[in-house]
Amino acid sequence: MARGKIIVGSRDSKLAVAQSRLIMNQIAEAHPEIQLELVTMKTTGDLILDKRLDKIGGKGLFVKELDKALMEGRIDISVHSLKDLPMEISQELPLVAFSKRENPLDVLVYPEGAQSANEELPLGTSSLRRELQVKELYPDWKVESVRGNLQTRLSKLDSGQYGSIILAYAGISRLGLEKRISRVFTADEIIPPAGQGIIAVQGRKGEDYSFLDCLNDKSSEICAKTERAFVSYLDGGCSSPIGAFAEISGDEILIRGLYYNEDTKQYHKGKISGKTGDGENLAVELAKQLKDGK
């Protein structure tokens, strides 16, 4: 990898490009001597829009084309929403930086211009994790799957296919669409997926990525590894109905988790707290408790 020029790989959605530009701007500010080039590509996950992700192989479908380009040296780093990355990461393609975390919570979005949701129309969501939790809040509202990138889902909402949809605050914010948010769910109402709000940078084993020190956020890195430890223990891919959210306050960490039992179709929520340095061990302990139904 030539340090004078870095080729950045990204999915070609508007949100993915915006996130890649955020990373590139931070690198450029700290390292004006580095030339940066953005390469975008459409992934398998972007092409299959008529099925929920857990039915078609999970969110690994969003990364395999970028992984291939990284392995072949066609790009030097790839930029992802951390929540879209599988739990199993190749040792040849390590995660080398974690951005400062945007608001990690989920939000409810009404149709453009609407002051309330039409509950005669379905509530749209792209994940079983959200569906399970939102049914506690709106038990009588019919929930249906909505796929596509953020703009596609908003278009489906605004065209009258849904009464409201649930999205991630981070994606809405990074596209400057905060005015579309009608309700922000608390982490107790809807536990986010592991890594939501964090942008992850993936690289190649053996390369020097010290130039990324300018954007790596230590708190994000700790929370990311803690949340992913919870999911990994439960053998959950990033499309599994499992939620994990860690918050750091001083030297203390609070971890919320949601575990779904595929056999019984039941789910359990819980919390655990302790010293930040014990985050990953605490996450595994919480996962064990929830798996045992405690």
Find how far residue 109's CA is from the centre of its chain: 18
149 exposure class (CB count in 10 Å sphere: 0-12, 13-18, 19+): middle
∠ at Cα 78 (231, 20), nearest 5°? 100
- The reply to whether 84 belongs to the active site is yes
Active-site residue (options: 54, 84, 106, 208)? 84
Q: Which of 101, 66, 78 is nearest to 226 (CA)?
A: 101
Six-digit token string for 292: 């045992």
Cα 256 from Cα 115, distance rounded (Å): 32
8 DSSP β-pair partners: 38, 77
Active site residues: 84
